[in-house]
Amino acid sequence: MGAEQRSSNDVVAAAMEKSIRAGEEASANGGGSGVVVPARIPSSSLAIDISLPLHEMKPRIIDLCKDLFKEWSSLDNSRVSIETVSGGITNLLLKVSVREDSAADSVLTIRLYGPNTDFVIDRKRELKAIPYLSAAGFGAELLGIFKNGMVQSFINARTLSPSDMSNPKIAAAIARELRKFHQVDIPGSKESQLWNDIFKFLKQAAVLKFDDSEKQAKYEAISFDEIREEINKLKDLTELLNAPVVFAHNDLLSGNLMLNDEEEKLYFIDFEYGSYSYRGYDIANHFNEYAGFDCDYSLYPDKDRQYHFLRSYLQPDKPDEVPDKDLEALHIETNTFRLASHIYWALWALIQAKVSPIDFNYLSYFFLRYDEYKKQKEVCFSLAQLYLSGSGSG
């Protein structure tokens, strides 16, 4: 495990350097994404132990900043303050403030990857995309990379709450921003990775073994043959919808949305799960996140709220002029991929139940998401089949 983790970190660092070089070449040749990719990102071979308490981590963070940013190489450590912004399931976000002599404080953020997250996150894919997303105006600006994380600009905004996402004004803003996000061109294969990722998770999840006998008993009650059959049925159905493939965020929960209320500027952050995927999947996954931290799926938006969002997504400037057939098609597409979102995160949770050191009941989360899949399956399948038969959604 240790050797694999070490090797993975080395690959990530190398991938980022390769991505930057590719971006430089694309910019020089006038090709690629149509945006100007940063010409040079500082990098460091240093790593920060995420398990350390903040007071022990601080001198290492300062050393990292000095290594990355040469203008701070002789900085007095007393000028640096560090605080925790958030501790997500897959990373730790720190705010670093440096008191300058003749200017306002310099503020940046440091994101540390959580342990064993390489089992569920493709860091190479993430790091390849970030320069292009950043150059297109999404997320924080990438300022530096290191062995197990990255340094980014500080975003002066508040993190949304789950209830914010259903606010009509905010929902429309998210929809407009998501349309722009889906138009970003990331060089490389444009094939959807959704089913590849789901089947990869299924393969990993089907061969786990838990030391805890109670966990093992619950795990053995899971039928992976049944799950595989459900995935294949759902995949076959979604393929009939011919959903557009876009570069998708794939994790657009409230914690990855920030809003500067004064400027009314919305930010998408954390692109760890970003990949080419289906348009409807990204929207459906966002709708599933209306359930919030309590996973109350009765909060999934009703048809009127969905249509409000989808109109702003399809025609940001004239949402009231979206043709009914376009609205219906995206509504069907979204609510079919709603099921794929539940399966994806259910299998993700099983893997996390084995590898994550975080104190969270991932095994229960698997059953929660898979049970919700089974609960919604008949309605979602019927809606799609009725639409495909030419009878419409009613």
Residue 373 and residue 209: Cα distance in Å, rounded?
24
Tokens of 357: 């050191």
Q: Are residues 270 and 167 in the same domain?
A: yes
Number of H helices, E strands in the chain: 11, 10
* CA separation for the pair 333, 337 (Å, rounded): 6
Environment class of residue 71 by beta-carbon count within 10 Å: exposed (0-12), middle (13-18) or buried (19+)? Answer: exposed
Report the CATH number that the domain containing residue 128 is assigned in CATH.
3.30.200.20
Q: Note whether residue 121 is domain-resident.
A: yes
Residues 224, 344, single domain; the answer is yes
Same domain, 145 and 229: no
Give the model's pLDDT for residue 24.
45
Domain annotation covers residue 67: yes
Same domain? 357 vs 220: yes
- Do 41 and 20 contact (CB within 8 A), yes or no? yes
Q: From residue 82, give the alpha-carbon distance in Å to each of 23, 233, 262.
A: 32, 50, 26
Assess contact for 348 and 355: CB atoms under 8 A: no
**Which of 106, 54, 62 has the alpha carbon at shortest distance from 83?**
54
Instruction: Tell me: do 122 and 209 sit in the same domain.
Output: no
Co-location of 79 and 204 in the same domain: no
Candidates 334, 227, 236; CA nearest to 277 is 334
Residue 159: both structure tokens together:
């993190």
Tens digit of pLDDT at every position of the chain (394 positions) = 333 333 334 433 444 444 444 444 444 443 343 444 445 789 999 999 988 999 999 999 999 999 999 989 988 999 999 998 876 666 788 999 998 776 778 999 999 988 887 788 888 888 889 889 988 999 988 899 999 999 999 999 999 999 999 999 999 999 999 999 999 999 999 999 999 999 999 999 999 999 999 999 999 999 999 999 999 999 999 999 999 999 999 999 999 999 999 999 999 999 999 999 999 999 999 999 999 989 999 999 999 999 999 999 999 999 999 999 999 999 999 999 999 999 999 999 999 999 988 888 999 999 999 999 999 999 999 999 999 998 665 4
> Using alpha carbons only, what angle is made at residue 40 by residues 34 and 44, rounded to the nearest 5 degrees?
135
- Specify whether 375 is located in the same domain as 232: yes
Based on the fold, state whether residues 284 and 297 are members of the same structural domain. yes
Q: Could you give the CA distance from residue 198 to residue 228 in angstroms, rounded to a whole number?
A: 10
Residue 141: its pLDDT value, please?
Answer: 87
Q: What is the CATH number of the domain that holds 301?
A: 3.90.1200.10
90, 125, 154 - which closes a domain: 154
Question: Tell me, what DSSP letter sits at residue 266?
Answer: E
Which pair of tokens denotes residue 301? Answer: 């938006």
Q: Which domain holds residue 323?
A: 159-392
Q: How far is it, in rounded angstroms, from Cα 346 to Cα 58?
A: 36
C-beta of residue 91 within 8 angstroms of C-beta of residue 270: yes
Between CA 34 and CA 175 the distance in angstroms is 22
DSSP letter string, 132-172: HHHHTT-SSPEEEEETTEEEEEPP-SEEPPGGGGGSHHHHH
137 shares its domain with 190:
no
Sign of CA dihedral 41, 45, 51, 52: negative
Cβ proximity of 140 and 149 under 8 Å: no
Map residue 131 onto helix, strand or coil: helix
Q: At residue 62, what is the residue type? A: I
Residues 143 and 187 in one domain: no
Which tens digits make up the pLDDT trace of 175-211?
Answer: 999 999 999 999 999 999 999 999 999 999 999 999 9
pTM for this entry: 0.86
Q: Which residues pair with 111 in a beta bridge?
A: 93, 150
- In this prediction, residue 36 carries a pLDDT of 44
Q: Is 165 a member of any domain?
A: yes
Structure tokens at 132: 């292009």
| Polymer length of the chain | 394
The SS3 call for residue 239 is: helix
Domain count, the chain: 2
Short-list 349, 234, 270, 284, CA closest to 85: 270
Give the number of other Cβ atoms within 10 Å of residue 47's Cβ. Answer: 17
One-letter amino acid of 366: F
The pLDDT, as a whole number, for residue 105 is 86
pLDDT of residue 392: 61
Q: Residue 335 falls within a domain, yes or no?
A: yes
Specify if 249 maps to a domain: yes
76 vs 280: CA distance, rounded Å: 51
Q: Are 284 and 338 in contact (CB under 8 A)?
A: yes
91-98 and 106-113 strand pairing: antiparallel
Cross-strand partners of 92: 87, 112
Q: What number of other Cβ atoms are within 10 A of residue 184's Cβ?
A: 19
Pair (166, 304) in one structural domain = yes
* Of 154, 169, 199, the domain-final residue: 154
Q: Establish how many alpha carbons lie within 13 A of residue 73's alpha carbon, considering only the half-sphere containing its beta carbon.
A: 5
Domain match, 124 and 186 both:
no
Torsion, Cα 293 297 303 306, to 10 degrees, reads 30
